[in-house]
Amino acid sequence: MTKRTEARPATHDFLEACRGKKVRRTPVWIMRQAGRYQPEYRALRKKHTFMELCKRPELATQVTLLPVEQLGVDAAILFSDILIPVEAMGVPVEFTEAKGPVLAKPVRTARDVARLAVPDPQETMPFVMEAVRMIRQGLGGKVPLIGFSGAPWTLASYMVEGGGSKSYVGIKQMMFQEPALYRALMQKITATVEKYLLAQVEAGAEAVQLFDSWAGALSPRDYRTLAAPWSARIIKRLKKTGVPVIHFVYDGGGVLEQVRDTGADVVGLDWRVDIDVARKRLGKKVAVQGNLDPCSLFLPERELRARVREVLTANAKLPGHVFNLGHGILPQCSVAAAQVLVDEVHKFKL
């Protein structure tokens, strides 16, 4: 008698859901699913800097695989950071405990922009592609691997501001006072991101997510004319590879339609918009990802489970839903709460 094979796990439901297909159960992963809320991650960070974890493929692989085992999520996401290609373009990046990323030599002038490289990812970031290959091997087909990049506007804002920002005055001044310089900067970043994501796909990434984490700071008009077209260019090229593209604009409730119109397969939603309202606005042709408030993980278990069901119920069993938080999981959360979230999503009857 042949050995009875396990029923194929519902894992590849993630890729099917990204493509708007019907699935047996709603797939789930969590933004920042590998990170400081995990004791194992914190233990590794005692021995290595964050950049070491990003740049040593065996460590990046180990960290990427942690939540797949621990939470039973339906996708892995490459462990890295959106600022890795910024460094490869020639802008030094430092991760500080207190202030997050710091770019000590921000990009402000025509000379600064002229000096920026459009790097060959294989030459300047080989560790990323090596990590992608090692992770695929480690996953053994169990769940798909998501690659990612920051979107041009968010990367530009880091480069011009020199770090995080509250008002984005520096980048907005450049946009409005020196539009040609802004365009030259966006051109270089867009070319870099496009090559970088294509290299990840070539190495084995099975979906990609573009993070436009700070584009919510733009008015809808400026998002449409000054940020979205650059993301759209990247998405158009990536879609030729056949991998699904997820586009997440944090605080993007005011520009959902424009995010969809960049051509992404999946629109990421934060928690400031109700998923049923978002789906009505977006129409049937696009999938969505989200959108539980990350702080829901602080609720007592029963209430957390109820909140998870609320999101699923509001989606009204429409195909094309990938469950996620509305932003990254916070370091203060417990692994147990993340496990409850995944469990409740998986229990939900479609």
48 makes contact with ligand CP3 (CB under 6 A): no
Q: Which of residues 266-325 bind ligand CP3 (CB under 6 A)?
A: none
211 makes contact with ligand CP3 (CB under 6 A): yes
85 makes contact with ligand CP3 (CB under 6 A): no
β-sheet bridge partners, residue 289: 268, 322
Measured from the CB atom, the residue of 57 and 181 that comes closer to ligand CP3 is: 57
Q: Is 184 exposed, middle or buried (0-12, 13-18, 19+ CB in 10 A)?
A: middle
Total chain residues near ligand CP3 (CB under 6 A) = 22
CB 225, min distance to ligand CP3, A = 23
The contact mask relative to ligand CP3 for 129-148 (x = CB under 6 A, - = no) is -------------------x
Buried b (16+ CB within 10 A) or exposed e, 21-52: eebebbbbbbbbbbbebbeebeebbeeeebee
C-alpha closest to that of 30 among 347, 344, 243, 348: 344
Q: Which active-site residues does the annotation give? A: 32, 36, 45, 81, 158
C-alpha closest to that of 147 among 179, 186, 182, 195: 195
Q: Which stretch binds ligand CP3 (CB under 6 A): 80-88, 112-120, 131-139, 335-343?
A: 80-88
196 makes contact with ligand CP3 (CB under 6 A): no
Measured from the CB atom, the residue of 1 and 98 that comes closer to ligand CP3 is: 98
| Contacts (Cβ under 8 Å, ≥6 apart) of 203 | 128, 129, 130, 132, 133
As separate numbers, helices (DSSP H) first and strands (DSSP E) second, the chain gives 17, 9
77 makes contact with ligand CP3 (CB under 6 A): yes
216 makes contact with ligand CP3 (CB under 6 A): no
Buried b (16+ CB within 10 A) or exposed e, 262-290: bbbbbbbbbbebebeebbeebeeebbbbb
Widest pairwise Cα distance in the chain: 75
CB-closest chain residue to ligand CP3:
213
101 makes contact with ligand CP3 (CB under 6 A): yes
210 makes contact with ligand CP3 (CB under 6 A): no
152 makes contact with ligand CP3 (CB under 6 A): no
Measured from the CB atom, the residue of 34 and 174 that comes closer to ligand CP3 is: 34
CB 313, min distance to ligand CP3, A = 26
C-alpha closest to that of 247 among 277, 215, 281: 215
Instruction: Using CB under 6 A, list all residues that contact ligand CP3.
Output: 31-36, 45, 50, 77, 79, 81-83, 95, 100-101, 148, 164, 211, 213, 250, 328
